[in-house]
Structure 1
């Protein structure tokens, strides 16, 4: 089996499909080596991206035809990204042991919805069989549902990789993924159990607000937020959301934190920039609250994901957690833009080797589980 795996993921913001080709090696001392051979982000078709973002901001029901159509179109987009990545890396399909595809989350409700009797579920679209067919590479997909079936949240799934690559004895660390949703991995320096959970919005609300009011897909450099002032009353109303007080393990998505949720807290006299500044403060303060409650002696916060490139957000995180080192995973030799895609390459490897991909201490599942469905080449 080749030692190269290709990971694919598109986050909650649907701002591109991240592809990472990674070489993994199990060292003799039991640690893991991971080398990013190639990484790139490939654009969505604009019409499809707009459709995905719209679906994340509303609760309108789709027809079965809509779901089936999206499943195929998303798979084709992922397959195109995989094929381009393989070509751009000067490789061929035979060089890749497997593709690990996260897919695009349509709904994530691991707790169900008690008020209307919906059973716990998670749904990621992007047919793995079609990706395998169009790439000629074995594809592992649908990673989250097995963990949910075992009573877990199906998320986050990368803490095991974070622990393998970034844990160090004697220092309490945390890894913060700043995608559409923020999630934390807690790495205690005393060898205690790894924990991980979503904390709430990271970039998703800011991106959606910026797109609606400026036409830009994201707030480049945090400029819009920097032009505004935090509205303390609005921030308090947003922070009063009961989800933030739920204990870990917990996870969430765009179906909960969307612009309709923000607009329900507005009073009508806020400026666009002030709302953006307040949404940034919401991300920073809820992350700080969660980390302070769960691992108060954290010495180092290692950031990855698109939010690392927002200096206003990174500065706000540092101000919310004085005395803590807040830095990019780049300082540890891991490209922050490709950490998640690397994670799904690793999950594909775990599945092919028959190894668990989840951590029950993170997701709340009944035990370790081999994740995903394998679609042979």
Structure 2
């Protein structure tokens, strides 16, 4: 009897942990995944997911002003937070450290200046990988965005590769919409080269900032849409916000806290300090309208046979936001990512488990049609 050939490194299953702190900067998301194969043949199975909230003082310092000393200290402190989350997700799954091939850590984005916004494009994520490696005893792949930026791309979005591997439709294309701090979409079909993706604008970032202001930090978000639901949209303010030049810019494009973070929240609060709920209602409508216009301008012309929008991210937990998005985009079906059999809360962390696995076998994992990079490159740097 002829024995099957031995599995190559890329075919052999690898257990990898993905770590992420998103633009909301409120927690570390950790996902333990089994990855087998690579590229178009890659398969990913989620084994465990945990969300480890940051202490309130850490959140305040992430969102606050920085100098070199405070940023350096925060880098090492966040490394400890990420390491604890990695240990927690392994314990929850009952997996020994020796069985894990690598940790893929995105870190916490502190600055993102893509091409077209500055003379020298750059991006900065912190959460010291050496600390993670030392505390877990595992190799760490980190700094995933910088190689794409060096290759002329935005370093974002990175999630289209995961969306294509895990969720591509074999018939009609699908839109995978993330409503994190920043909103972004991936449109995926059978071929990676046909994938396109971009940041559509603000997700929850403006809403979250206004909710913290309105409740003196008692709430970190527009919980269940209750605050925005008490307000009324300020039409002239909404129209002004929708004239933001980022929203009119064609893809590839990416954005972040520099445009939709505390500076914008402060400006809005200064204009209408006595209309907190109206500001929240306006911010929610900004997310809905900027997303819908992005689809009408760039998604539908390229994918007129779109199957549905599958939504993930913190915005899915705001029923008012979801209802408005569904109404605005009708008749396009708007569904939660869970309907595809994958828990939406684990998606972004699972992305970095996949990227770590692809780094280990040397497979390029950026999508130039989404980021604008000149070529496909291997993403990440290894801390053994």
TM range (shorter): over 0.9
Post-superposition CA distance 1:312-334 (Å, at most 9, x none): 11111111111011011100011
Superposed structure 1 runs of 4+ greater than 6 Å apart: 189-192
Partner of 1:179: 180
Partner of 1:89: 93
Offset of 1:192 from its aligned partner? 6.3
Partner of 2:108: 104
Q: Is the 8 A contact 1:305 1:338 kept in 2?
A: no
Partner of 1:250: 253
- Once residues 280 and 30 of structure 1 are traced to their aligned partners in structure 2, the CA distance between those partners, rounded to angstroms, is 37
Q: Is the 8 A contact 1:170 1:190 kept in 2?
A: no
Equivalent residue runs for 1:137-156 within 5 Å:
137-156=138-157
- Once residues 263 and 72 of structure 1 are traced to their aligned partners in structure 2, the CA distance between those partners, rounded to angstroms, is 29
- Once residues 240 and 332 of structure 1 are traced to their aligned partners in structure 2, the CA distance between those partners, rounded to angstroms, is 35
- Once residues 268 and 305 of structure 1 are traced to their aligned partners in structure 2, the CA distance between those partners, rounded to angstroms, is 28
- Once residues 323 and 244 of structure 1 are traced to their aligned partners in structure 2, the CA distance between those partners, rounded to angstroms, is 23
CA 1:366–1:192 in structure 2 vs 1: closer, same or farther (change >3 Å)? closer
Equivalent residue runs for 1:1-377 within 5 Å:
3-26=14-37, 30-55=40-65, 62-111=66-115, 113-114=117-118, 117=119, 119-188=120-189, 193-214=194-215, 215-265=218-268, 267-268=271-272, 271-296=275-300, 297=304, 298-376=306-384
Q: Is the 8 A contact 1:13 1:53 kept in 2?
A: no
- Once residues 369 and 245 of structure 1 are traced to their aligned partners in structure 2, the CA distance between those partners, rounded to angstroms, is 29
Offset of 1:188 from its aligned partner? 4.7
- Once residues 40 and 367 of structure 2 are traced to their aligned partners in structure 1, the CA distance between those partners, rounded to angstroms, is 18
CA 1:190–1:124 in structure 2 vs 1: closer, same or farther (change >3 Å)? closer
Q: Is the 8 A contact 1:230 1:281 kept in 2?
A: yes
Q: Is the 8 A contact 2:151 2:374 kept in 1?
A: yes
Q: Is the 8 A contact 1:208 1:259 kept in 2?
A: yes
Offset of 1:190 from its aligned partner? 8.5
Offset of 1:169 from its aligned partner? 3.0
Offset of 1:242 from its aligned partner? 1.1
CA 1:245–1:89 in structure 2 vs 1: closer, same or farther (change >3 Å)? same
Larger proportion of helix: 2
Offset of 1:357 from its aligned partner? 1.3
Residue 337 of structure 1: SS of its match in structure 2?
helix
Partner of 2:9: none
Post-superposition CA distance 1:306-361 (Å, at most 9, x none): 11111111111111111011011100011100100000000000101100110111
Offset of 1:106 from its aligned partner? 0.6
Q: Is the 8 A contact 2:164 2:192 kept in 1?
A: no
Q: Is the 8 A contact 1:5 1:100 kept in 2?
A: yes
- Once residues 147 and 179 of structure 1 are traced to their aligned partners in structure 2, the CA distance between those partners, rounded to angstroms, is 22
Post-superposition CA distance 1:129-159 (Å, at most 9, x none): 2211110111100000000000000001010
Offset of 1:263 from its aligned partner? 4.2
Unaligned runs of 5+ in 2: 1-11
CA 1:30–1:72 in structure 2 vs 1: closer, same or farther (change >3 Å)? closer
Offset of 1:2 from its aligned partner? 5.6
Offset of 1:15 from its aligned partner? 1.5
Deviates more, 1:248-257 or 1:163-172: 163-172
- Once residues 307 and 106 of structure 1 are traced to their aligned partners in structure 2, the CA distance between those partners, rounded to angstroms, is 22
- Once residues 27 and 192 of structure 2 are traced to their aligned partners in structure 1, the CA distance between those partners, rounded to angstroms, is 36
Post-superposition CA distance 1:234-284 (Å, at most 9, x none): 110111111111111111111211232244356437621111111011001
CA 1:262–1:71 in structure 2 vs 1: closer, same or farther (change >3 Å)? closer
- Once residues 135 and 192 of structure 2 are traced to their aligned partners in structure 1, the CA distance between those partners, rounded to angstroms, is 43
Give the total of aligned pairs. Answer: 366
